Amino acid sequence: MSSSASPGPGRSVLIVGASRGLGHAMAAEFARRGWRVLGTVRGAGTPLHALAAQHPDAIEIETLDMTAPDQTRALRERLADRRFDIVFVNAGIANRAPGDTMAEVSDEEFAQVMGTNVLGAMRAVEAFAPLTGPDGVVGVMSSGQGSIANNANGTNDVYRASKAALNQAMASYAGRHAAEARALLLLAPGWIRTELGGANAPFGVEEAMPQIVDVLIAQQGARGLRYLDRHGQPVPW
Ligand SMILES: NC(=O)c1ccc[n+]([C@@H]2O[C@H](COP(=O)([O-])OP(=O)(O)OC[C@H]3O[C@@H](n4cnc5c(N)ncnc54)[C@H](OP(=O)(O)O)[C@@H]3O)[C@@H](O)[C@H]2O)c1
């Protein structure tokens, strides 16, 4: 199912990277609250497809690999006449061996993590932010590990660097768009059990996602860039 037609009434959210994990749980939570959700996936038969089959009036699916600029441009064109209350760029990856230092990670994997978490995410922000109204919310999934101030133990070099670079790029975006009334959000969701977070993470999506969605919705009507955790508390940059 790939459709940009019939938006229908009510509040709406575009979630980039909603196939599984936190993005899928976010789609389910917004739908549960009566929002219309357009979620993007890269493949077929994902958990989002199953959710959309259960809620065909609430959930639409589009295809996007955000590391492919032609796909980002094409989706922006397909959605040109659509407006969303919230645009949220969730998609992200970690390197396969998170303990690898900068000296150990391969050039290819470094480029893949940076190309996804920074370049792909920011191209999605640039493309889809204008689909929110003047008082809309544009959010990106950062991480507490993007905080330079909180980096006391030096683990996860590559992933940390990618999220810190994402934060910096969003700060630049915010500076360039300071005259606009949109709320911009870098969200640090906490350590949550997903494929990326792993089985040892202390929180499940069922507990964390309502809090994450509360924080996103609370940004409506705010202005400028914030870096917040899922309790709405500022994270030190
Ligand atoms: N879980 C945690 O503890 C945690 C903590 C802090 C931050 N985060 C951040 O939260 C976000 C979601 O993480 P998660 O834990 O839900 O991970 P996950 O279960 O591995 O899901 C990752 C999601 O990103 C999508 N994705 C990856 N590369 C993409 C690309 N090039 N284009 C489009 N979509 C792409 C995946 O799609 P496919 O299904 O097609 O692969 C999937 O939907 C990430 O940005 C992550 O860095 C997670």
Assigned domain for 236 exists: no
Test site for ligand 1: of 22, 63, 96, 143, most ligand atoms within 8 A of the Cβ: 22
Q: Tell me, what's the pLDDT at 9?
A: 58
**Residue 146 Cβ contacting ligand 1 at under 6 Å:** no
CB-CB contact of 203 with 190 (8 Å): yes
Quote the number of domains for the chain.
Answer: 1
Run of H or E including 25: helix 21-32
**Residue 99 Cβ contacting ligand 1 at under 6 Å:** no
Cα(95)–Cα(167) distance, integer angstroms: 18
Assigned domain for 2 exists: no
Q: What is the pLDDT along the chain (237 residues), one digit of tens a residue?
A: 333 333 445 799 999 999 999 999 999 999 999 999 999 999 999 999 999 999 999 999 999 999 999 999 999 999 999 999 999 999 999 999 999 999 999 999 999 999 999 999 999 999 999 999 877 999 999 999 999 999 999 899 999 999 999 999 999 999 999 999 899 999 999 999 999 999 999 999 999 999 999 999 999 999 999 999 999 999 999
Assigned domain for 127 exists: yes
Q: What separation in Å is there between the alpha carbon of 179 and the centre of ligand 1?
A: 31
Which residue range(s) make up the domain with 107?
12-229
At residue 88, φ and ψ (nearest 5 deg) are -130, 120
Assigned domain for 1 exists: no
pTM for the structure as a whole: 0.96
Cα(228)–Cα(236) distance, integer angstroms: 9
Test site for ligand 1: of 66, 93, 116, 122, most ligand atoms within 8 A of the Cβ: 93
Assigned domain for 237 exists: no
- The CATH number linked to 93 is 3.40.50.720
Assigned domain for 136 exists: yes
Assigned domain for 116 exists: yes
Nearest residue by C-alpha to atom 41 in ligand 1: 42
